[in-house]
Structure 1
């Protein structure tokens, strides 16, 4: 009896073939990357079905609750279609579902209000829909959750601090919603200990970047020496490769990735209203490969501790209110490929050497007081960053005189006195000198 059927990456068009319902209950059905246009109502859901992939088709209509008749399903991928309607509550009450990928559809309404206490979800991807409302705290029941991606929706809520207790959460992407408020210092000792990708960009978060919040990213402090073959997500029972597509922003480029290596560590807080200084503790996240803090209202100087991020490949601090000079410690970033410090109030000479010799004018535009290569504005000698600081003025014996001016005055007085003495010896006692003296 046929149990596994792979028909992905073909040119199957229109409806499912009628013979598909006559071959008996399948355990796995993969029809991804085709041109299917039918609705899900025409699919026969059976209890034996465990793996279903209809991604990258043109399936329309809603998701009926009858889908939960497939009570053994643990992988459900309906992404990149034209599905509408709401997400059935029964999907989040399933005790078998491990992967739910519904991204790139037109689903609306709110997120399911409750996730079962027996939740086994490991990957939940609802990117690029029209979902509204708040994030249900019952998501914290999904103790094995490894990746949560809700980007490009219309969710309105505060930062979900209650997710911090999930021990396996590696990926949290909340980009481009209507989330707001401050990110408070985490109240538990655990924090986001396994998190390696955090993207909360393009929201309305405000206030300072909490030091404690950053300090608890323990996985970001440990550099993975060899991550070949190690990816975020599941090692599927039926497939050695997974296709959970995720859109991320790195090196100023939006990328869609099929698989994300565990050593790809990224923080993106851009396009919010964060203020204050960059916490020095960010320099402890030595596994970071991409850091984006652009388009906020951050101020103060760029911390020297960023020079400790020796694995960093992309650094974007543009469109803030940073002042002071560019720390020379940033020249230690040997893997830095993208640097953007534009549109700030940075002054002085641009550090030279190593990666800094490869960046163009675009990295520094909008900082009128910067000078040096690659800019055409040359630095005056007193602005050279490498020049030693002037020594403090020293007073000797409590007086405001140095030995050089004293010696000069003494010498001039001696010469003048010797001249007067010669006059007296040659012409006697001149009356004009007597008058001056007496």
Structure 2
């Protein structure tokens, strides 16, 4: 909305300027003024970025043509004096005031050099500007000027009516004597990011003295030091007030909403700005209102319905509460309305569905309830409808899918029920989001007549029935299909399914449904992601079923009943999840054969919680792109392959809860490794000292093994270590005093229980565990957070429990 505001201001100013500048003069322009312009041309260059072009071709200026006919130059049609120069958006590069040639244009009334790359400090180079005795308009917007705004500027140019210094590199305090420009009608000092600032005295003087102001734009000017009482002194002529992102704070005066000529009010992105909407006496001509992401409280008053000229309203992200008043019957010009992310409740106002010009309507993330109307014939121009994250109930009315201009429908996270009404006249809708409702029954056949659909999300409902390939075959534009978490919904496994093509489909999610067999009919698409987790797929996947998935990059078959895989689907898998199945025997040695280039790009391989047995084949080390390898909770045995050190991208290695024997390889020299889980095996020997080079290590769990070693003092030097589990091993001896002096700067959990440590424990060690005061990170699962803030150490045959008081 801020950009819309700026466009409107530019249009308004452009109209104002063009309406006062006379058409090109028939007189020859004065020679000394022509020469001044030509000299100015020699001091700058033209340099456009990439595919941009200058609006005004200053290179076309030459002596052979009357300068009053030059592009960007306007003359008085009686005297021939140059009164206007517009070189905005003209790719000018150089120093604006490197010479004083423009100062010879004594009758210049307006100058627009905005949106160029003119550099230099106005503070140092403005002496020539002060010679523009007749200057009435100055626009230096969107340049690269650097420096504070010179105070002399406002002393010399007291006749200015329009001043625009926006989007430059100015910084520092806006001079108080800006209030001397008492003829100003329009002032724009908006900046890129809070580099300019107003103090309370300066803004108070401006509000009192600039009595002719109609447009005041100060977006992202730092006004954190400005009290709000001076707003009561703003000119009654004010039509446009824009103060977005100004760090305003305190309670905004409601009287500003009542300024008699106010048409545009933007206060967005002032999070500490509070206040209330006026119960009566709004400015009757208000057209644009944006208070988004502020702290306004209270309710939306019924007087809101008196804003008959209103075009756009954005009150999103405030603390408004109560019901939305049903007062939209007279707001016939309204095109944009957003009350999203407030705390509004109660039923949807019926008259809001009668707005014939509305293009964007967003009421999402409130507490609105009740059903949608059964029939709506208006909203024919609606392009965006946001009703998600509410408590809307009842059925999904079919008129929602017939709106001619609506590309996206989002009713997710509500309490809608089914079945879905039959759609009589399908529209050109492209996205439908109905996830997390209570919609039941089958998906109606008419749903698949929405032939322009690119995204269909019906996940987390109570849908039932079978989705057949011939139903989906109509949706030739479909890119994303998500019907996950519909436990009674299944997928056709007909042999004819392979005959259908889905050329645009890239993502399919059937997780948590009743799929019983690996599907056939997505193989002829360009599918990249397939999620069939939490289903009832049993048996194996044959080589025939695994063919034809060349584009598949992400495959999740976890939580099924798979017993065998002859071959992985696809040749370009990047993520493969087979967690919690019934896979048994050796670890897929056929699929991991280095002669079969199936998994060259595999980054995540999860095959935990199965019934795999035997050794880990060395061919697994050929998966050179692996970042995550999870073989946990199987019956794997033998030793851990030494070649794992070759996996230079490996971040997580999880081999816990198996039957590995032997020593931990002394070959972990991997700066990427962040999680190493080898607990609950039969590992023996020492903790490999090479782990000291794994400086990214965050979790190290070696618990429940047969390791025999002293406490590895180098562990304290690992800068990122947050979890250290050594419990139930054969560690012995005293804890070295050196670790008591270590920072353990990141350590949150340490478990040394059920070992053979002896001696005393320094309380200094406990005091150094400062990270235990912080909230644990999300990845710390429940098995770790059980120990959060607790140090368990077995000393002299007894487990001593230490709670770091004030740190838990």
Do they fold alike, i.e. is TM over 0.5? yes
Change (3 A) 1:201 1:104: same
| Larger relative strand fraction | 2
3-state SS in 1 of match to 2:381: coil
Distance (Å, rounded) in 2 between the aligned partners of 1:307 and 1:138: 36
Aligned to 1:182: 419
Q: Aligned equivalents of 2:353 and 2:517: distance in 1?
A: 52
Structure 2 residue runs of 5 or longer lacking an equivalent are: 1-213, 216-238, 569-575, 592-808
TM-superposed deviation, 1:380:
9.7
The Cα shift of 1:107 comes to 0.5
Distance in 2 separating the partners of 1:49 and 1:158: 37
Residues 318-358 of structure 1 deviation map (CA, whole Å, 9 limit, x = unaligned): 0000122232x53444362x3211011224326255333x3
| 2:12 equivalent in structure 1 | none
Residues 1:209 and 2:443 are matched in the alignment: yes
In structure 2, C-alpha distance between the alignment counterparts of 1:89 and 1:306, rounded to whole Å = 53
Report if the CA contact (8 A) 2:429-2:452 is conserved.
yes
Matched, 1:8 2:244: yes
Kindly provide the CA deviation profile for residues 51-76 of structure 1, in whole angstroms up to 9, marking residues without a partner as x. 11111111111000112232111111
- For residues 39 and 10 of structure 1, the distance between their equivalents in structure 2, rounded to whole angstroms, comes to 19
Asked whether the 8 Å contact 2:334–2:355 carries over to 1, the reply is: no
Kindly state the Cα deviation for residue 82 of structure 1 after the two structures are TM-superposed: 0.8
Deviation sequence 1:365-403 (CA, Å, 0-9, x none): 01222624355764999xxxxxxxxxxxxxxxxxxxxxx
Residue from 288, 291, 294 that aligns with 2:484: 294
Asked if 1:106 corresponds to 2:343, the answer is yes
Indicate the residue corresponding to 1:368 in structure 2.
561
Displacement of 1:134 in angstroms is 1.2
Where do residues 253-268 of structure 1 align in structure 2 (5 Å cutoff)? Answer: 265-268=454-457
Change (3 A) 1:141 1:42: closer
CA pair 43-365 structure 1, distance change in 2 beyond 3 A: farther
1:312 maps onto 2:508 in alignment: no
| Equivalent residues of 2:290, 2:315 under 8 A apart | yes
Deviations for 1:190-227, whole angstroms, at most 9, x for unmatched residues?
Answer: 22x12111111111111111222212x1322xxxxxxx
Q: Distance in 2 between matches of 1:306 and 1:152?
A: 40
Contact kept, 8 Å, 1:283 with 1:307, in 2: the verdict is: yes
Cα–Cα, structure 1 residues 274 and 112, in superposed 2: closer, same or farther, change >3 Å?
A: same
Change (3 A) 1:62 1:305: farther
- Does structure 1 retain, via aligned residues, the 8 Å contact 2:451–2:474? no
Partner of 2:526: 334
Are the structure 2 counterparts of residues 22 and 364 from structure 1 closer, same or farther at C-alpha, using a change threshold of 3 Å? closer
Q: Deviations over 1:160-217 (max 9, x none)?
A: 113344222222211111111212433x2x22x12111111111111111222212x1
Distance 1:117 1:306, change over 3 A: farther
Query: Structure 1 residues 130, 323: CA separation in 2 closer, same or farther (over 3 Å shift)?
Result: same
Is the CA contact 1:46–1:69 (under 8 Å) kept in the aligned structure 2? Answer: no
CA contact (8 A) 2:481 2:508 kept: yes
Deviation string for 1:283-329 (max 9, x for gaps)? Answer: 332222221100002124357479733323322110000122232x5
Shift in CA distance, 78/276, structure 1 to aligned 2, threshold 3 Å:
same
2-structure distance, mates of 1:306, 1:129: 46
Asked whether 1:200 is paired with 2:434, we answer yes
Q: CA RMSD in A?
A: 2.9
1:92 Cα deviation from its structure 2 partner: 5.1
Q: Is the 8 A contact 1:84 1:105 kept in 2?
A: yes
SS in structure 1 at match of 2:522: helix
In 2, are the aligned partners of 1:115 and 1:141 still within 8 Å (CA)? Answer: no
- Give 1:343's aligned residue: 534
C-alpha distance in 1 between matches for 2:411 and 2:405: 17
Superimposed CA distance per residue, residues 16-56 of structure 1 (whole angstroms, 9 cap, x where no aligned partner):
36895697623222211112211112896222211111111
CA change 1:118–1:129 in 2 (3 A) is closer
Q: Which moved more, 1:131-140 or 1:75-84?
A: 131-140
TM-score by length of 1: 0.68
TM-score normalised by the chain length of structure 2:
0.38
Q: Is the CA contact (8 Å cut-off) linking 2:260 and 2:283 kept in structure 1?
A: no
Structure 1 residues 94 and 139: alpha-carbon distance in aligned structure 2, compared to 1, 3 A threshold: farther
**Which digits, 9 at most, give the CA deviation of each residue in 1:407-435, with x for residues without a partner?**
xxxxxxxxxxxxxxxxxxxxxxxxxxxxx
8 Å Cα contact 1:135/1:155 also seen in 2: yes
Equivalent position SS for 2:349: coil
In 1, Cα distance between equivalents of 2:443 and 2:561? 27
Q: How many residues align?
A: 328
1:279–1:75 CA distance, 2 compared to 1 (3 A): farther
Which of 464, 473, 492 is 1:275 aligned to?
464
Per the TM alignment, residue 91 of structure 1 is displaced from its structure 2 partner at its CA by 2.4
1:68 pairs with 290, 305, 314, which one?
Answer: 305
Structure 1 residue aligned with 2:451, among 218, 239, 253?
218
Do the aligned partners of 1:306 and 1:330 also contact (CA within 8 Å) in 2? no
C-alpha spacing 1:149/1:23, structure 2 compared with 1 (3 Å): closer
How far apart are the structure 2 equivalents of 1:67 and 1:312? 46
Q: Distance in 2 between matches of 1:65 and 1:268?
A: 37
1:77-117 C-alpha deviation (Å, 9 max, x unpaired) = 10111110111111255211111111111111101134475
Residue in 2 that maps onto 1:86: 323
Q: For 2:326 and 2:394, how far apart are their aligned partners in 1?
A: 20
Q: Which has the higher contact order (CA 8 A, sep 6+)?
A: 1
SS in 1 for 2:295: coil
